Amino acid sequence: MSEPFRVGLLGHGTVGSAFAALLSERADAIATATGRRPEVSGVLTRSQGDFDDILSRSDAVVELMGGIEPAREYAVRALEAGKALVTANKQLLSQHGDELLAAARAGGAQLRYEAAVAGVVPVVRVMRESFAGAHIEKVHGIVNGTTNYILTEMARTGASYSDALEHAQRLGYAEADPTEDVNGKDAAAKMAILARLAFHASVGLEDVPFEGIEAITPDDIDYAKEFGLVLKLLGVAERLDGGVSVRVFPCFIYGGHPLASVVGPFNAVTLESPTITEVTLSGPGAGGPQTASAVLGDVVSVMSSQGMDLDPIEELRFIPGDEVESAFYLHLEVADKPGVLAQIAQVLGDNHVSVKSVVQKGMGDNARLVMVVHPVAEGRFNAALREISKLALMRSAPRSIRVIEEEFTS
């Protein structure tokens, strides 16, 4: 048997400790498969270990500390020293991806980050290896398990957003401070990583506008059921005429969409390309053992690969949100008087917004119009909304949520 493959472990928390345990459990099998037995050469936490010492005794470094500093500094130093780096750190990759790739290039080292995106779902590997020959047009998915759990609960039980969040916290699906999950920032970091891979280009967190689920109400989820729609927080990275768009927003999808059946804390990502049509991958989005398994997969990949497989850099134009076309669900609380629908239809028509389906709900003070409109430039739709909100017949501000029209029924 050859020399052991020495892994320096930075961080020994939820994922780090699960990784160390899994590595020792799987070491013999990996040795049989790769010819080298992996072993942990040193562990760094706030209270133990020395980074320089661990680096000098490692063939690869696994970063499971989280946060930006000192994770960034250690990652760059490891790569520049020619040591493979495996990380699950989405913040680091989405904010310093270019710097990490440059360090990997400079050191001739491999960089792997499967666990940073959709937990155990192997979307990074599929994109960089299986679909390396495909021109990916669109990647979209549910990349945050906390929000998917909350939305699933709201749809299932009619619970309010805050009650569903509290429930998620009790079950450990949401952290004590869930801000970056519920406001869409966590998903935006993951979409920056996926868009970089899909478009072979520099994409950072600052390129990804994001909206969260805090303002979603159970009645919108309920009304939209009548149109066959299910609400999800989606990350969408797509090539459009004249550039790309990478965004995160809550949106409705039709029941036949492959992402519609992804419930609870699960993640799923759909890849679309003319050569592969579409492929959806799904599985648990987080959890110590699950994430550790994805990290160990990367370590084995590093042990069995030669050289680097770094992405070429393509220049991208990010299309402003106002120019991107989307369909919308629209909820209007209106006065129950003759001519209301005609006035609203007039404003929509003036702004080139065309209605796909509409239902009228309630009567008197409780009257509301719920509709789905065909895809239109978001700037035009928002202009129509501004005009509608000024109409005397409106009883409250209009509420709108994007709709993804693809039905995948054929």
Nearest approach, Cβ of residue 144 and ligand NAP (Å): 11
* CA separation, residue 172 to residues 15, 152, 169, 178, 280 (Å): 15, 15, 5, 11, 26
Among the listed residues 194, 66, 45, 218, the one whose alpha carbon sits nearest the alpha carbon of residue 118: 194
In the complex with ligand NAP, which residue's Cβ is closer, 44 or 253? 44
Between the two ends of the chain, the Cα-to-Cα distance in Å is 53
14 touches ligand NAP by CB under 6 A: yes
Can the peptide bond before residue 70 be classed as cis, meaning omega within 30 degrees of 0?
yes
Nearest approach, Cβ of residue 245 and ligand NAP (Å): 26
Is 190 an active-site residue?
A: yes
The residue ranges of DSSP E strands in 49-125, in sequence order, are 60-63, 84-87, 111-112
Among 4, 70, 258, 297, binds ligand NAP (CB under 6 A): 70
The DSSP line for 301-348 is: HHHH--S--PPPPB---BPPGGGSEEEEEEEEEB---TTHHHHHHHHH
Q: Which residue is closest to ligand NAP by CB? A: 13
Catalytic residue among 90, 190, 225, 356: 190
Do the Cβ atoms of 393 and 369 come closer than 8 Å?
no
Q: What is the per-residue binding string for ligand NAP in 270-309, x denoting contact by CB under 6 A?
A: ----------------xxx--x------------------
Q: Which two tokens stand for residue 197?
A: 């891979």
In the complex with ligand NAP, which residue's Cβ is closer, 282 or 291? 291
Do the Cβ atoms of 59 and 302 come closer than 8 Å?
no
Size of the site for ligand NAP (CB under 6 A): 23
Nearest approach, Cβ of residue 238 and ligand NAP (Å): 25
Site for ligand NAP in 150-209 (CB under 6 A): none
In the complex with ligand NAP, which residue's Cβ is closer, 76 or 88? 88
Which range, of 40-48, 94-102, 156-164, 369-377, touches ligand NAP by CB under 6 A? 40-48
* CA separation, residue 13 to residues 109, 287, 410 (Å): 26, 12, 46
Which range, of 85-93, 220-228, 252-260, 345-353, touches ligand NAP by CB under 6 A? 85-93
Q: Which residues bind ligand NAP (CB under 6 A)?
A: 11-16, 44-47, 64-66, 70, 88-90, 115, 119, 286-288, 291
- Catalytic positions, written as ranges: 190
